[in-house]
Structure 1
């Protein structure tokens, strides 16, 4: 949670770089971004996996020609763990679905504010507020006791769906508040989801299945993003697709209201 907060604060502060637009220009921003990415790559080269099991300690580096077989074995092992751990499948699917509005609300809100006449130099403000909402959501999530992931998903999906609806249909400041609600609520849910997923899977498969968690979201975004845009084009209202997405998220939470919660 502390690492997540530091990362989100850095992103929020970085969003203020739009103030420097008149000084840096596009080329300056690309060069600055390249410098940050280079520093990040160098830092990643210094990272090492902590050895906590005998299996990890016995691992050896494999030559490049062995990578395809290693990948196939990794896929087989992951599918086996998912088959034997239904809870992990549910957690991965729920986090992928509820996370869909995260990127779309931020991107659509910026487009909408520009159409409403906001200067591009001020677009850092909603991004900064969204970053602060993420930090607040993480802090709230640390203090919330989760007795049932089903109940938590229901509450978070309802709030996240309402926030997405606000971004798609409300005036400018209502859209900003909706985006902040989405970002903050997602941090509450994802914090507990990652903890439950971490507890539900074997330590030797933890890193792989956590990456599967992120991959599920990426795969879901492939159809979701163009579909949201297509719905907006079909109705002649840019926010129509986002409003529909908000309704889908609300329904996914409402569908669990009548079901008996499971202790987890």
Structure 2
């Protein structure tokens, strides 16, 4: 089980190498408009909506290791579709395979780590271990983005060919993993999903956490993805973009190491509300005419994402049963897709109609108002639990 943790560190590095993370910039260079890119992302999340829970059920039924391997195979197919075509239809099909890859790994990776620790009766280490995993993901992402930024000046297609090699390395590491011992799930995948959904319905607290986390994450992700094209309008591309991403990754690595200490110092409602307000300010401030403010906002938004990821994962996994862990984690990711499906193309349409500055201002206001309301709901749930 301890070896699983170490192998997962390596798997996470190759999984999140970040070579294809500049896909908005890449597709815009291929000639796709902001609306077309928004539609592709909407298709991605629509496909994710369909695949998410079945993929979690597959992991709970067939084992975490096999599903992690399948996730890298699907990602390889996606890379081939995207790099080999300039057709909207074929690139969109690549996004569907990318969604499948994301869904197969989503929740499964966390379930493998949590159950490996649980086998050793060390669940309390999960936040620390997952913070380290998140740090590795951020480092991998920054390394990949530097390479992608450099290749964007010479041979942008190369990032997808290198990603194929990274997928091969991830598959080799996954082959050495061992599925943790847990209650055997003898149900069919359909039954596993049905029981997991029933368990989620029994826990309004879990549902509220999932939806609250998904809302802020989706709005922040939408901002971060579109800001790649925004940087291009500010004459920031190639090596300059890579340098910004490296600086951002430094802030992300530092912030993620603060997660365990933050949880022991402050309550969840305080952490969530602070996250909401800082994210709202960062997004809205990106409409500034000053490049320095735009860059600072970008750094803050990315740092908050890295900080909250292990905290949210820890909160969710503490409320899940072992035999349904991957499936319920997938339901949590499904909430994220539900928000992204409408938000991403709508923001793309606003950018085309009004430009970036007013779009980010309104998006920031939306996050601030709705997020504050959700923070009050979380505080109420936490208060009710203390009374019990």
Same fold by TM (over 0.5)? yes
Shift of 1:158: 0.6
Residue matched to 2:209: 91
The aligned counterpart of 1:194 is 313
Alpha-carbon distance, 1:257 to partner: 6.8
Q: How many residues align?
A: 250
Give how far 1:233 is off.
2.8
Query: After superposition, what is the alpha-carbon deviation per residue over 1:49-89, rounded to whole angstroms, capped at 9, x for unaligned?
Result: 211x3x23xx57xxxxxxxx823212211211111112211
- Indicate the residue corresponding to 1:65 in structure 2: none
Out of 131, 134, 156, the residue aligned to residue 252 of structure 2 is 134
1:214 offset after TM fit, Å?
A: 1.7
Residue 106 of structure 1, aligned match among 200, 215, 224: 224
Root mean square deviation of aligned Cα: 2.4
Distance 1:41 1:166, change over 3 A: farther
Deviation string 1:150-204 (CA, Å, 9 cap, x unpaired) is: 2221111011111111224453221221121112223333322211211112222
1:216 matches 2:346: no
| 1:217-237 deviations in Å (ceiling 9; x for gaps) | 123211110111122233x22
Provide Cα deviations, 1:9-45, integer angstroms capped at 9, x if missing partner: 111122111224455x134322212111222233333
Give 1:247 shift: 1.0
Quote how far apart the aligned CAs of 1:113 are: 1.8
Gaps of 5+ in 2: 1-130
Aligned twin of 1:30: 160
Cα gap change, 1:127 to 1:208, in 2 (>3 Å): same
Distance of aligned partners of 1:220 and 1:255 in 2 relative to their CA distance in 1, 3 Å threshold: closer
Which of the residues 271, 277, 296 maps onto 1:158?
277
**1:19 aligned partner:** 150
Aligned counterparts of 1:110 and 1:120: Cα–Cα separation in 2: 11
Distance change >3 Å, CA 70–CA 12, structure 1 → 2: same
Relative to structure 1, the CA distance from residue 21 to residue 189 in structure 2 (aligned partners, 3 Å threshold; closer, same or farther) is: closer
The 5-angstrom pairing of residues 72-91 of structure 1 reads 72-91=190-209
Q: TM-score, normalised by structure 1?
A: 0.84
Shift of 1:146: 5.7
Distance 1:46 1:215, change over 3 A: farther
Q: Could you say which residue in structure 1 is the equivalent of 2:140? A: 10
Where does residue 63 of structure 1 map in the other structure?
A: none
- Kept after mapping to 2: 8 A contact 1:165/1:242: yes
Tell me, in whole angstroms, the C-alpha distance in 1 between the residues paired with 2:337 and 2:203.
22
Alpha carbons 2:273, 2:372 under 8 Å: kept: yes
Contact 1:169 1:240 in 2 (8 A): no
Structure 2 residue aligned with 1:180: 299
Secondary structure class of the residue paired with 2:356 = coil
Does the 8 A contact of 1:155 with 1:253 survive in 2? no
